Amino acid sequence: MHLIKRNYTRQILTMLICSFLICWSMALIASPVRQEIRQFIDEMVAQHGFNQSKLEDIFNRVQFQPTIIDLISVPASSIPWNKYRARFINSQRIKSGVNFWNEHAQKLEQASQVFGVPAEIIVAIIGVETAYGTTTGKHRVIDALTTLAFDFPRRADFFKSELEQYLLLAQEQNFDLFSIRGSYAGAIGFPQFMPGSYRRYAIDFDGDGKTDLTSNPTDAIGSVANYLKEYGWEAGGPIITRAHVPIDSNHYQEILLAGIEPIHPVKKLRAANIIPLQKTGDERLAALIELKDEDTHQYWLGFKNFYVITRYNRSTFYAMSVLQLAEAIRAARNSSLR
């Protein structure tokens, strides 16, 4: 009799233990706060004094977005320069740029005076980035950054850092983490600043006590100008000039492969038969820039200010689109003011 009771008791205990283990395992599987996220939470608590339970609640509400991984995994298109250019330099974007400039002329002039960055460059960057604030992104930034930080191993460190910056930004500015929408990469507002850039370079340019890049174009104007200035924009300095490059030049490929940082004195380029088509000081540093169409190549010399624009986006196509859109907007505006 005692033996039967002992066996029965063992069976009950075994069933209870198994049930507990099954429930515990299912809870771990179902929990959206994965182990690596818990480790991130611990780091935020230790390094920045965040409340652990609040962070756990936040990450319980985050929605992972597999489509974001698909979007960011698509390799950069190798389309020719003329097709890339057409995306941004067209009649609609030029007209909208003139309207944006006219609407914010006073603040653009102020930004140019304070930071030394031409108004048309500021307008063109906002135009290329978000069509003057009309296409700022549809993804919740917290979802995008969390997805990329923990499900995109190739750049996990970068996006984990940006997620950290976003949490700090929300704490500093006291906004709802789940209310801000941006690009699939987590870029925010009119100028598409990543959270780290937002914290470092965004400014309250209208003096209302808030730094708002999502709905305040004045703050966006000042912040873009400040960003470029902080990266070394030279007020009144040259940006780029066309260059003649003989296809039989012995050194042009070597100079081209050196990259977009201006490290070559113009006199060295002249010695390699790379000739600027505008008057340029021999000691000024430049990089050789190549723009490829289907059948032709263009060659330019990019100076420090061109390189500064590539700190916003490292593509030479991007920087050239900004410059040519800026020129087109200025020309169209000047024409309309005559």
C-beta of residue 288 within 8 angstroms of C-beta of residue 264: yes
* Within-domain flag for 94: no
Question: How high is the pLDDT of residue 295?
Answer: 82
* Within-domain flag for 161: yes
Residue pLDDT tens, the chain, 338 long: 443 444 444 554 444 444 444 333 333 333 457 999 999 999 999 999 999 999 999 999 999 999 999 999 987 667 899 999 999 999 999 999 999 999 999 999 999 999 999 999 999 999 999 999 999 999 999 999 999 999 999 999 999 999 999 999 999 999 999 999 999 999 999 999 999 999 999 999 999 999 999 999 999 999 999 999 999 999 999 999 999 998 776 678 889 999 999 999 999 999 989 999 999 999 999 999 999 988 888 999 999 999 999 999 999 999 999 999 999 999 999 998 87
Question: How high is the pLDDT of residue 324?
Answer: 98
* Within-domain flag for 199: yes
C-beta of residue 274 within 8 angstroms of C-beta of residue 249: yes
Mapping DSSP to helix (H, G, I), strand (E, B) and coil, where does residue 302 land?
strand
* Within-domain flag for 187: yes
Domain range for residue 190? 54-74+140-224
C-beta of residue 280 within 8 angstroms of C-beta of residue 301: yes
C-beta of residue 288 within 8 angstroms of C-beta of residue 299: yes
- Residue 241 token pair: 């000039």
Question: How high is the pLDDT of residue 308?
Answer: 98
- Nearest-CA neighbor of 59 among 75, 76, 36, 82? 36
* Within-domain flag for 320: no
Alpha carbon of 110 to those of 117, 205, 256, 323: distances in Å?
10, 10, 37, 20
Domain of 164, CATH number, reads: 1.10.8.350
C-beta of residue 240 within 8 angstroms of C-beta of residue 308: no
C-alpha to C-alpha distance for 124 and 94, rounded to whole angstroms: 9
* Within-domain flag for 206: yes
Question: How high is the pLDDT of residue 253?
Answer: 86
Polymer length of the chain: 338
What end-to-end distance do the CA atoms of the chain give, in Å?
Answer: 109
Extended strands (E) in the chain? 139-140, 181-182, 240-244, 264-265, 275-276, 285-292, 297-302
Alpha carbon of 325 to those of 122, 123, 228, 314: distances in Å?
11, 9, 17, 17
* Within-domain flag for 178: yes
* Within-domain flag for 101: no
C-beta of residue 128 within 8 angstroms of C-beta of residue 324: no
Question: How high is the pLDDT of residue 186?
Answer: 98
C-alpha to C-alpha distance for 15 and 11, rounded to whole angstroms: 6
The structural domain count of the chain equals 1
Catalytic residue chosen out of the listed positions 129, 230, 234, 254: 129
C-alpha to C-alpha distance for 205 and 190, rounded to whole angstroms: 14
pTM: 0.88
129 is catalytic: yes
